[in-house]
Structure 1
Amino acid sequence: MTQSPPAQIIPPHIRQMPDGRLLLVGGNHDVQTMFSADGPPPPAERVAVFLDNHRQRSAYCAERGIGFGQWVFPDPIVFSGGFPAGRMRSAFERALPQGARPEGLHYPLALLDGHLDRQNRTDTHYSPIGNMHVAARIVQQMRGTDLSDRLAALTAQISAPHSVSGDLGVQCTPPITEMRAAPPRIPGIRTALNGVQSGNMGIMQLIVSPNADSDRTLLIFGDSFFRMLLPELSRYWRRIVFCRTQFFHAEMVAAVAPDDILTGLAERYFASTRPDAERPHFLAYPLMLGRAMAPDPDFPALWDQLIDRRRLAMG
């Protein structure tokens, strides 16, 4: 007798939509409730904190001649084709409609919604093709550069799709996979992590990209959405220091001496913004959280190349 395949088990905080796409609906932020069109808007006091942080970050960078941009990354639950039309609504757009956003604040929903190749079916993040487009838009916003020809060339080199299981797919039993294509990586990148164990806050990733199209240095304060963008941003910045944090850490700026700073967060974190004044020193995260570190072998060499230890001690 032929044995039936095992039943698919999908955890309750994940929902599979009619088109097969997996969406995070629960979790710590109760995502479906947060983005429900008839649910409560983000708390006004949290929105005020977010705007105050943005004003202070913008002013800090302007005073020092540093390019600055802040990005809120749309949650896939608001993309069309998932829930029925009108059921979900962007929490960020509800709190800050287009006309109410200050300069330097970006929300690339239109760049991703309606483009299936820019989305994932088994992951909370965007596809490699989506990240290619978001990175190009970031460069366009910061430098005023038209990257249409660059995007066309990269699109012509996109790889054949291969099977992967994203951060939602691997939580299912058996894991749910999808076919995913990607643009070519820029060659010659050196990268290393500080190796924070068990958790996210305090992760630092250092990148040197000798074939980037500028000799600029980029400092990023952000979450996993920016970390997923690092291979694409490496096309445009020669040196990148990524710090996994929700805060703007002025103590790191002098040590990195960036030409540009990007800050950003997933939309589901928007309603829980805390003031930058509450930040710890970035390098204290592992100590505060009791987490071990196991830096990659190349981390010390890249640290010496990218971090000014004297300025860090004075920060």
Structure 2
Amino acid sequence: MQLENNPHLTIKNNVITFGDALFLQQKDRAQHQFQLLLGEVALKPKMVDTFQRNMAHNISIAEREGFDYKHIVFPCKPIVFREKFQSIGVELNPIFSDQHHHPQVLYPTNILPEDYFLEDSHLKASGTLKIIGQVLEEFGYPKLPKPLYGYHDVAGDLRKMLGGDCLEKKQYLKSLDGLPQNRVQHFSTASGLEGNTGHLYFFFNPYALYNVRLVLFGDSFFQRRFDIFKRVFSEVVYFRNPYILDDVVKVLEPDIVLTGNAERYLWHVPDCDNAKPWFMNYISNRYDSKKIPESDIKALTALFSGKSSREYRNMFGKKLTDLPRDIEKLSMLSENDIKTNADISFIKGMADYYEKEHPGVAYYLMSLVKGLDSYKSVG
């Protein structure tokens, strides 16, 4: 059955309304989402070849530089609601195909309708957490702690396209159980660059679950979920780019790199062999460095100076520690485990966090570092 003739659907302003859920249509425009899902148009073989070539490009860099790597194809919302569409006679098939399969590509199949916002085309925090948890387990990390969610009222991108001002409760990750909240520093070039092409974001959180530097290359499915990444990883660097930038990862020395794209973007895959140099974003009339706060410039300068540079070590390196984050393991620490100023700073921060809910743990942690500040060296 055609979408336009289906009595259960309303189509307006390129948005399909089905019950209380909204979906991006894109008929004869952009990525042709529903036309692809319905089989009315097909992916060009060239785009599949480009996807595979980009993967080969990314994997070769990961192997050379020695970081963990995975590419995520985020399933489009209509596919997650596939059974709901079947119930009204609309058969949808994924855009992602056998030709896109690769050991380093994840197309998650455990995403449920409740993991998507009703009036937005993006995943809730719960959906992204499922994906990140799966990726980390494949890399050998333990299961993520229990998520603690917060909610705020925001108009979804699809609701905005309909011209409405209704607000939907948007779920975000407030924290992971046992980890401090609101201790994240945020730096960006966004204020000095028009549009979103070329944007760079850097999040620093020494109290995150893992003392790991994560570098992200991708679209809004990453960008909308910074609330998750900055709680899990101590350093998160994001580039709005579809594939790995070779020179960037050489400088940044990441532990993990993730690339990703929304499923509908398989319609047109940018070719890594035809890439415009990244720095060109910053020598165009779209860029005004005077709009970027001095604190952001200083932080990004330290970041790109390298992990061993004095600038980076003074600004960030002294705050990073490999001590455990969960309360049980923290309670088992001894003075012998404390080796650097970063360890001391971290324990003080965790003691401050636990002071109200677990005063006994807080007192124990502070007793460990009492008097140590004067002789511990930075490791």
TM-score relative to the length of structure 1: 0.82
Q: Per-residue displacement from partner, 1:118-148 (whole Å, max 9, x unpaired)?
A: 110111110122222222223223x222315
Distance 1:197 1:15 in 2: 33
Cα offset, 1:251, TM superposition: 1.8
SS in 2 for 1:239: strand
Could you tell me whether the CA contact under 8 Å between 1:41 and 1:95 is conserved in 2?
no
Correspondence for 1:5: none
What is the 5 A alignment of 1:265-284?
265-284=261-280
1:182 aligned counterpart, secondary structure: strand
1:103/1:296 CA distance change after superposition, 3 Å: farther
Query: Do the aligned residues in 1 keep the contact of 2:219 with 2:240 (CA within 8 Å)?
Result: yes
Q: Percent identity?
A: 17
**Structure 2: stretches of 5+ with no match in the other structure:** 1-9, 176-180, 309-379
- 8 Å CA contact 2:193–2:286 kept in 1: the answer is no
Cα gap change, 1:40 to 1:94, in 2 (>3 Å): farther
Task: Report the Cα distance in structure 2 between the residues aligned to 1:214 and 1:187, rounded to whole angstroms.
Answer: 16
Larger Rg: 2
The match for 1:125 among 117, 122, 127 is: 122
Distance 1:13-1:71 versus aligned 2 partners, 3 A rule? same
Distance 1:169 1:192 in 2: 30
Deviation at 1:309, TM superposition (A): 7.3
Q: Which amino acid aligns with 1:47?
A: V
Higher relative contact order by CA 8 Å / sep ≥ 6: 1 or 2? Answer: 1
Question: Does 183-192 or 268-277 show the bigger shift?
Answer: 183-192
Partner of 1:245: 241
2-side partners of 1:62 and 1:131: how far apart? 26
Q: CA deviation at 1:230?
A: 2.1
2:295 to 283, 295, 298: 298
**How far, CA to CA, are the matches of 1:10 and 1:296 in structure 2?**
43
Q: Deviations over 1:50-90 (max 9, x none)?
A: 11110221122112211111111111121225533552111
- Say if 1:139 and 1:236, in contact at 8 Å, map to a contact too: no
For residues 288 and 12 of structure 2, what CA distance do their matches in structure 1 show? 30
Q: 1:39 to 1:287 in 2, by over 3 A?
A: farther
Task: Quote the Cα distance in structure 2 between the aligned partners of 1:282 and 1:130.
Answer: 31
SS at the partner of 2:126? Answer: helix
Q: What is the TM-score when the length of structure 2 is the normalising length?
A: 0.69
Structure 1 CA distance for aligned equivalents of residues 307 and 185 of structure 2: 24
**How do 1:60-209 residues align onto structure 2 when only pairs under 5 Å count?**
60-80=61-81, 81-84=83-86, 87-93=91-97, 95-96=99-100, 101-108=101-108, 110-113=109-112, 115-116=113-114, 118-141=115-138, 143-147=139-143, 150=145, 153-154=146-147, 157-159=148-150, 161-185=151-175, 186-195=181-190, 196-209=192-205
- The amino acid of 1:89's aligned partner reads N
Counterpart code for 1:166: G
Q: 2:252·2:306 contact (CA, 8 Å) conserved in 1?
A: no
Structure-2 change in CA distance of 1:126 and 1:257 (3 Å): same
For the aligned residue pairs, the C-alpha RMSD in angstroms reads 2.6
Does the 8 A contact of 1:192 with 1:302 survive in 2? yes
- What is the aligned residue count? 287
Deviation at 1:94, TM superposition (A): 5.9
CA positional deviation for 1:265? 0.9
User: Alignment partner of 1:135: what SS?
Assistant: helix
> 1:305: how far off?
2.9
C-alpha distance in 2 between matches for 1:261 and 1:289: 30
Which residue pairs with 1:30 in the alignment?
32
